[in-house]
Amino acid sequence: MRLFAALVPPDEVLDEIERAIAPHVGQVPGLRWPDRSTWHITLGFFGEVPEGVLPELETRLARAVRRHTALDLAFSGFGAFSSLRRAKVFWAGVAGDTITPLAGSVRAGARRAGADQTDEKRFHPHLTLARAKTETDLRPLAESLSGFSGSPWRAETVRLVRSHPGPRVRYESLAEWALAPAERG
């Protein structure tokens, strides 16, 4: 089964992103905008994981998540991989508390559990909004969205998600773990 771990932002925060990009959806040739139900911030992509690995993976991820506190985040700025001028993935950036240590723990736990295809790319927190098959210049799109700044929100849980590929990708939440409570300042 194809698995990943993710933070899923609250609906009201996703509503803001959806309103911001709505005038642009369908306006850039070659850009595909995935369904909002698939929006998430990937902490670790594990690829195809044998079903027998799942119990150990859940144990390891639960342990990794408990070591970290809830995160205060907001969506801020838009960018693209590999660059705005030669984009294949258009995304919203994530500001606030650093997510990198949590992502590192999640990925390490998955490797120890036997999820051998764990993604080793440098972690860059983002919310994927659109994809292109060929490199596309998205500088005008990013410029038109430059005034956007999302409301702050608290990430309090991490989900283990199964991806069901096909003409219409579907995600299934398999487990969810709470991050430790954040200290109020």
> What tens digit of pLDDT does each residue of 37-51 get?
999 999 999 999 999
| pLDDT value of position 7 | 98
Contact call for residues 57 and 118 (beta carbons, < 8 A): no
Give the mean pLDDT of 22-32.
Answer: 93
First to last CA, the chain: 41
Q: Catalytic pick from 24, 68, 124, 126? A: 126
| pLDDT tens sequence across 81-107 | 989 999 999 999 999 999 999 999 999
- Does 40 qualify as catalytic in the annotation? yes
Angle (nearest 5°) at CA 70 between 67 and 72: 140
Give the mean pLDDT of 166-183.
Answer: 90
CB atoms inside a 10 Å sphere around CB 89: 15
| pLDDT tens sequence across 113-157 | 998 676 667 899 999 999 999 999 999 999 999 989 999 999 999
Phi/psi at 2 (nearest 5 deg)? Answer: -90, 115
Q: Catalytic pick from 40, 68, 124, 164? A: 40
- Does 68 qualify as catalytic in the annotation? no
Annotated domain spans of the chain = 2-178
Q: How far apart are CA 100 and CA 44, in angstroms?
A: 11
- Sheet strands side by side (includes 157-164): 41-48, 2-7, 157-164, 170-178
| pLDDT value of position 165 | 86
Q: Which fold has domain 2-178?
A: Cyclic Phosphodiesterase; Chain: A, (3.90.1140)
Task: Count how many residues are written for the chain.
Answer: 185
Quote the mean pLDDT of the chain: 93
